[in-house]
Structure 1
Amino acid sequence: MNKKNVYRPLEDYCAGYMRYLGIAKTERRSYAESIRLLREAGFKELDSFETLQAGDKVYRGYEDRTLLAAVIGSEPLAAAGLKIVGGHTDAPRLDLKPKPLYEKGGYVYFDCHIYGGIKKYQWLVLPLALYGTIVRKDGTKVQVEVGDKPGDPVFMISDILPHLGYDQAKKTRDEFFPAEDLDVLAWTTPAKDGKSETDKAGLVAYLKATYDVTEEDLLSAELEIVPAGMPREVGFDRALIAGYGHDDRVCSFAGLQALLDAADEVPAQTAAILMCDKEEIGSVGSTGMTSSFFENTVAELIERQEKNAKDILVRRALEKSSMLSADVTAVADPHFPDVDSTGNAAKFHKGPAASKYTGGTSKGGASDCSPEFVATIRRIMDEGEVVWQMAELGKMEKGGGGTIAQYMARFGMKVLDMGTPLLNMHAPWELASKFDAWQTYRAYSAYLRAR
């Protein structure tokens, strides 16, 4: 990948991203759409290869939520490692509990559980959509997608009117609406038999007629409540994009598009992207970055290149690798200047923000990138004519946050956080700058194609 970079125009790129974001309302949908785009570009499942040659385009997925895709380089993986852009596709939301249907005051609700870090009040009185997968006992699956197609119903969490909310107004932000009350109105029609106030049986019958599932089938379901609505341009200048799940699909998609654009070039060092799950709850589980998915995938790649593949070759490859941890950061909000680190806050329309470290006041949970790798990235950005900025996530003693960087740095690889700055991060509707999203894609393209 030595030729001069050719980037997609800003508006073309952002239109493609907005289409993707409207489809990728959950990590499973993000996975499915990413696989579709990869296959369209000629990528094939790793299991279909007995050996790997330079220029091969491969991907490996796991549990329909986490994937690694790569263009194999001319240098062996065991000797050169990988160059990775790694982000996540899960986002804060409400999950339906295993027994989600309950009756109260004449209504039927979905009983919900918070996923990731949210401000509870932001989810009240919003049009909501329902997405997910129901798995029957025989293993067959049903996909649920309600709330975004024309003519679809939506769902909602109700709140008390201000006229009667005096007692509520005296409570703190975290107290005034208990988490256990973040339950979604699902069915309000009275029972037809006239004997009971609530018609839960009517909802169960509707689910059976519409999806051919029983209430018991909901025990083995993964159903998510997300904001209803498609991404929209914001402002008369249309310079911003409002959407659900910019964190972190704005970065994951940028990495995906960068790899797709470079797919027909043969890199020296294998170029790869990682789109993982569970980052918002600590990167746990079999699809999170504390699992063995990444190491196992690298081992599978090396096994197809080396006659005598050994574990030490995997370890050497990981240690020789480098990664841009593709995750968002907070943009400076003029209404909340007290949390911004003076001179180190990200700004809109200045490109992606690189963060040498994340974490909190004492850098807890950070990988703390070496200055040598920061210098390398500076050179690559300059050569790629990328507009970017250096920033950190707020003042000390004001909070903090982390990414998957720490879990990748444990292999000894060089890792730097670099992603799109957002307003309203972790809100149902987040704001991203078109220019920043586009420059994020350019940054990842320059990195994957650099010598």
Structure 2
Amino acid sequence: MAETKKVPVWNQYSEEEKQALEKLCTGYREFLSTCKTERESVKEAVRQAREAGYRDLKEVIASGHKLEAGDKVYAVNMKKSIVLFQVGEAPIAYGMNILGAHIDTCRLDVKQNPLYEDGGLAYLDTHYYGGIKKYQWVTLPLALHGVVVKPDGKVIEVCIGEDEGDPVFCVTDLLIHLSQEQMKKNAAKVVEGEDLDILVGNHPFAGEDKEAVKAGVLKLIKEKYDIDEEDFESAELALVPAGKARDLGFDRSMILAYGQDDRVCAYTSLRAMLETEHVRRTACCLLVDKEEIGSVGATGMQSHFFENTVAELLNAMGVYSELTLRRTLANSKMLSSDVSSAYDALYASAFDKKNVAYFGHGMVFNKFTGARGKSGSNDANAEYLAELRRILNKHQVHYQLAELGRVDLGGGGTIAYIMSLYGMQVIDSGVGVISMHSPWEATSKVDIYETRKGYTAFLLEA
């Protein structure tokens, strides 16, 4: 029987369960190591989906095939968001069971006019994305990921710094010997946003008298990648921590990696979706962009992509009407799959120990998030929580109820409040994270495994 008490789960596993846990976490580490941007995450999700028998919804519509129970389809939005559906046996107007996570994460974005030289050094100018502690991003080996699109439409995929033979990049810091003034600043000002520029070169180009180092960099990227300076104008390039996800701790009980908020919930949602068969209600997995900056834009949750795609799904099933669409959305149930803060004894004063997630205690549910007096929060209904408790207990999923942190200390939000606008039942659920929004975040393998189990149970039973 699952327990809401904070009882460690590790020693309750059979050898078979431990092997299943390690298999899941091995795949998760590989996903984290290779999918560090939204585009890379969507590309991998499509690969896995097609391998599991899913078809592109556009292709299905073009073929004239009428969707029926058991059919599996997906739709991609601008290569940065994806939604997957498995048509259930019940009429879709009764609602769907939806897992929704985000695949964007904090990073340093390269500006559109970025390359400059100063003091014999070449830099790329950046603008940070999401809520970060800026001082954490200095002197780290960084990799460059993204795309450059030429005026003729040619797309150049960029990934530099991940292979062992690749160069890496970094933000420099001031030596401690000259840091008396810097050390007097508060943490928000120790490193300014405009100072998060990336060191990319020092070798001057022979024969150039002015900005020879910049000229050398331009020559290299032109020869190797066919990128001209003007091509930065139509590029999406990001600096992310270089290196692979790793096991954390002597006991290998945890994972240390970049981008676990929220790819830990995205991966577990995707695996639950792809591995679940024969659903009663239509199952849906939604992986979206821009959550870290308010879910805005055409690829964020506030766009109409999801609603429009559900309308296309209904039409392909031969049941579309505006009323059916509204009933489908209102009768749906959702787990807003996003991370929660986990207890860190080094910062104990930030948490309410009675209402915090602990590593190794299972899947986390946040009845509400928000700030101060629950401002900006979706607050799940007690009836919905009771239903989820029944489902989790039936499937022996270990879970815990938590809040983000101590009251009035801060706050946060997810896509839950946006989906709740349709009138559906929504609650935040996912994995506890230590060092959230830092370049390297930590999670527990137990919590990852239990969360995937919980998502599967939800798709089958809700």
1:295 match: 307
Give, in angstroms, the shift of residue 206 of structure 1: 1.1
| Farther off after superposition, 361-370 or 418-427 | 361-370
Shift of 1:194: 6.1
Q: Which runs of 4+ in 1 moved over 6 A?
A: none
Q: Check whether the contact 1:329–1:393 (CA below 8 A) recurs between aligned residues.
A: yes
Asked if 1 retains the 8 angstrom alpha-carbon contact of 2:206 and 2:212, the reply is: no
Q: Which residue in 2 is equivalent to 1:3?
A: none
**Deviation by residue 1:121-168 (Cα, 9 ceiling, x = unmatched):** 100000000000000111110000001112011001110111111111
> For the residues of structure 1 that align with 2:435 and 2:232, how far apart are their CA atoms?
33
1:436 matched to 2:447 = yes
For residue 195 of structure 1, report the CA deviation from its aligned partner: 2.5
Equivalent position amino acid for 1:144 in 2: V
TM-score of the aligned structures, taking structure 1 as reference length: 0.96
Worse-matched range after superposition: 357-366 or 282-291: 357-366
* Aligned equivalent of 2:385: 374
Amino acid at match of 1:294: F
Q: Is the 8 A contact 1:192 1:199 kept in 2?
A: no
2:317 paired residue number: 305
Query: In structure 2, how many angstroms separate the alpha carbons of the residues matched to 1:342 and 1:259?
Result: 33
Rounded to whole Å, the distance in 1 between the matches of 2:208 and 2:124 is: 23
The CA deviation string for residues 38-63 of structure 1, in whole angstroms up to 9 with x for no partner, is: 00111000112232100001001110
Q: Which amino acid aligns with 2:171?
A: I
C-alpha RMSD of the superposition: 1.3
**How far apart, CA to CA, are the structure 2 residues paired with 1:198 and 1:350?**
57
Q: Secondary structure at the match of 1:60?
A: strand
Q: Pick the aligned partner of 1:82 from 96, 107, 110.
A: 96
User: Normalised by the size of structure 2, how large is the TM-score?
Assistant: 0.94
1:198-209 superposed matches below 5 A: 198-209=212-223
Matches within 5 A, 1:251-290: 251-262=265-276, 265-290=277-302
Q: Is the 8 A contact 2:208 2:215 kept in 1?
A: no
Counterpart check, 1:73 vs 2:84: no
**Counterpart for residue 25 of structure 1:** 36
Q: CA deviation at 1:197?
A: 5.8
- Alignment partners' CA distance in 2, 1:152 and 1:342: 44
Provide structure 2 residue ranges, at least 5 long, that are not aligned to the other structure: 1-15
User: 1: distance between equivalents of 2:110 and 2:269?
Assistant: 31
> Pairwise mapping of residues 209-248 of structure 1 onto structure 2 (< 5 A)?
209-248=223-262
What code does the residue aligned with 2:155 have? Answer: K
> Offset of 1:100 from its aligned partner?
1.1
Q: How do residues 370-409 of structure 1 correspond to structure 2 at under 5 angstroms? A: 370-409=381-420
Q: Which residue of 1 aligns with 2:132?
A: 118
Three-state SS of the structure 2 residue aligned to 1:381 is: helix
CA distance in 1, matches of 2:330, 2:280: 17
Show CA shifts across 1:335-392 (max 9, x none).
1111102400110000121000000011111110000001111111101111110001
Shift of 1:333: 1.1
Does 2:68 correspond to 1:53? yes
| Unmatched tracts of structure 1, length 5 or more | 1-5
Aligned residues: 442
Q: Could you say which structure has the higher helix fraction?
A: 2
Q: Percent identity?
A: 45
What amino acid does structure 1 have at the position aligned with 2:296? V
What's the secondary structure of 1:425's corresponding residue? coil
Deviation string 1:384-436 (CA, Å, 9 cap, x unpaired) is 11111000101121100000000000000000100100000000000000111
SS, match of residue 433 in structure 2: strand
1:44 aligned residue: 55
Match of 1:415 in 2: 426
